Amino acid sequence: MKIKVSKSIHFSSQIQFLFKEQATGIPDFMAEAGEIGVRYSEQNTIIYGGMGERDSVSTAIIRNVSAKAIQKAIELKRDRISVVLPSPDALAESGKAIIEGIILGSYKFDKYRSEKAHQVGTVELIGNISSTDVRKLAIVCETVNYSRDLVNENASVLTPERFAKEAGELEKFKNVKVTVLGPKELEREGLGLISAVGQGSSTPPRLIIIEYNGSNRKTRTALVGKGITFDSGGQNLKPTGSIETMREDMAGAAVVLGVMKALASLQSSVNVIGVIAAAHNAIGNKSFFPGDIYRSYSGKTVEIHSTDAEGRLILADAVSYCQAIYKPSELIDLATLTGAILTTFGEYVSGLFSNNDELAQRLFESGETTNERLWRLPLYKEYSDSLKGELGDLRNLSRFKKGYASSIIGAAFVQEFINDIPWAHLDIAGTSFNNGSSRGEIPQYGTGFGVRLLLEFLLNK
């Protein structure tokens, strides 16, 4: 899709956005928030997007209705669309939200469809916005869609090795360095937990490090993503009904890769290190077993009480290695860690855990800005105490009754491997994958949740 800025309307198909007070005289259209209407004439087709009451409008509403409007244009098979941006008086960030809605709402993963989805060829923006701002927004939204593609890809295609190749492509950009630890390097360096999780697969694990240095400042943020390219559950095999979508268990890693790609494309003035722990949790005669004990990179040993609690294991090694070798100023990890977070928040909010109030607040505010919402949960000592092992130092499941505080326990386990730096853990298991129908800018299946949030956090803090 080509997006350009224009001073006047050139296309007969148009999108306009109206408040309720402006919708008089348009049949069957009340301009309720998110409502879509269409008016046909001999000269043109106008798609109306309802913004609701002027006093209640938000960027979330505008982004959502913009996505629905472009989806209506796609449904009508329009090739060229003029989009009339509301006056900045309506909402200062309305133009930005509309562009985000157009690009994110146009997304469709149809790689494996015989009949491809129609796409709008050109979008003409009429209003007060610069071409530079449009270009930057397009880069951000296109990397969200890139992350969605990764999540939606077949697990047989997006293996740990392929993940490493995708990351390696970023070295074409200035200020980027990519390092990959393969199975031999993982063993040599003592990353025993990642090695254990991936040892049952014919596609060995990788630890992928992407360094982006765009600033002279000494501070550096680390982003660590869980990249389980398929999670069978291992010897604790997942049942039918939950195993079918387990290609999405690498969504945290997809977000990290998307963010790093955006930073490199924008040549942003920040220093960020992206770390991806990529492994296939397979079942087989070489898989790790319940009851096994493994030594982590940190030196702590871990009793395996479930092979289906593997994400926290690879995160433990990844955050330990990142801190020891790269010494970040702050560290944020993202993971589809627990199904329990879906029980808590559904598909609308991600769990936020942190040892630092300031970092947690900054992340929360970034999520409010992008409408990728976070809510903080506690990490009391009792949760950490429940992870103490008998034969080893730690256990990967708590001593609590099954299901109790599962999301908190997962975060508490990762915290055991965090040194004295600000740290946050985002459990995105509920928000990264939409099993229902699309909701405006949020498509079915991979959502890309977290890319815009983290870019907002990194670039506007």
Write out the catalytic residue numbers.
238, 312
- Distance from C-alpha of 106 to C-alpha of 2, rounded to nearest angstrom: 12
**Phi, psi for residue 187 in degrees, rounded to 5:** -70, -45
**Measured distance CA(459)–CA(461) in Å, rounded:** 6
d(CA 283, CA 268): 42
Type of residue at 165: K
Return the ∠ at Cα 242 (arms to 240 and 252), rounded to 5°.
150
Q: Which two tokens stand for residue 311?
A: 């994400």
How far is Cα 395 from Cα 156, in angstroms, rounded to an integer? 31
Cα first-last separation, the chain = 31
Distance CA 335, CA 311 (A): 8
H or E stretch covering 16? strand 13-18
Question: What three-state secondary structure class fits 235?
Answer: coil
Question: How many other CB atoms are there within 10 angstroms of residue 348's CB atom?
Answer: 12
Separation of CA 18 from chain center? 31
Contacts of 319 (CB under 8 A, 6+ apart): 224, 275, 331, 333, 414, 417, 418, 423
